Amino acid sequence: MNFDLTPEEQAFEQELEAFLQEHQSPEVMDAHPEQLSQTVETPAKRGLMKKLAERGWLGMSWPEEYGGQAKSGIYDFILTESLSRYGAPQPGKGVGIVGKTIIRNGSEAMKKEFLPQIIAGDIEFAIGYSEPNAGSDAANMQLKAEKREGGWVLNGQKVWTTSAHFADWYWVGARTDTSHKHKGITLFLIPMDHEGFTIRPVHTIGDERTNEVFFDEVFVPDQYVVGEVGKGWTYICEALDLERFAMMPVGPLEMKVGALVDWVREARRDGEPVKDDPVTRGSVAQAVTELEVSRMLQR
């Protein structure tokens, strides 16, 4: 199997590279990018998303009827990798997780409301699956959703909601039926400025912020139920597959290995070129080989 990019795909990657070099800025890019995707937290980072949207680079694999270009998913992949290489924010949650799940399962009214905002880079989402007793066993979520006239009332707690303090909408799984574990979960969309939310920061040892979110009589109209009641677990599994698409880019590793090779090429120790040391050469060769293996496995 040939994993090389086509000439058209290579041309798109080069266009992206030129764009990112032109827009390099510490306000929107991390000088030392890590593996996890960067969030779109600040106005400057949202501005970068808007520029990507203006060039038609958000939702390229979406159907044309929803504003996309019906391109192969490899174009979304190239975009994700290029952004990660520069430590730039990722468009994954809205375009990938939420948007594609709505395209497949949302009502026509939901599609009309959210899809144009997503593909224009106008809206950001927080994802609410994890709870104190629903981490690796995500289907064990206990956030309670009770039926009321015209909608649902949610009470309970979520944890590790990274974007809760700046997102516009909350993509949330809740338990609507206690008699079934997997078939008792429903997905909801809720505005993050809802008066029933209490958001508490949790700062990690890696100097990142995530959040606990407490629900107190949070009313959600029926129109903001995603798909069918009780099928939320199926939709969450679909969305998790889409999330993994952009979760672990190799772009940051490419930059680090490249920096290592450049340093070894010029460095000297005890008057001798480091590049001539057989142990160093073996270590660098191993790193370059493992990077290439990672790149091919990902593709």
Active site residues: 243
R_g of the chain, CA atoms, integer Å = 22
Contact criterion met (CB below 8 Å) for 76 and 189: no
* Other beta carbons less than 10 A from residue 269's beta carbon: 9
* Listed residue (54, 55, 51) closest to 25, CA to CA: 51
Q: What percent of the residues of the chain are helix, what percent strand, and what percent coil, each to the nearest 5?
A: 45, 20, 35
Check if the beta carbon of residue 82 is closer than 8 Å to that of residue 20: yes
CA pair distance 87, 32, nearest whole angstrom: 7
DSSP assignment letter at 125: E
154: its two tokens: 């949610």
Q: Residue 256: CA atoms inside 13 Å, Cβ hemisphere, count? A: 15
Handedness of CA 91, 225, 147, 182 (dihedral sign): negative
d(CA 261, CA 285): 9
Backbone angles phi, psi at 168, to 5 degrees: -90, -35
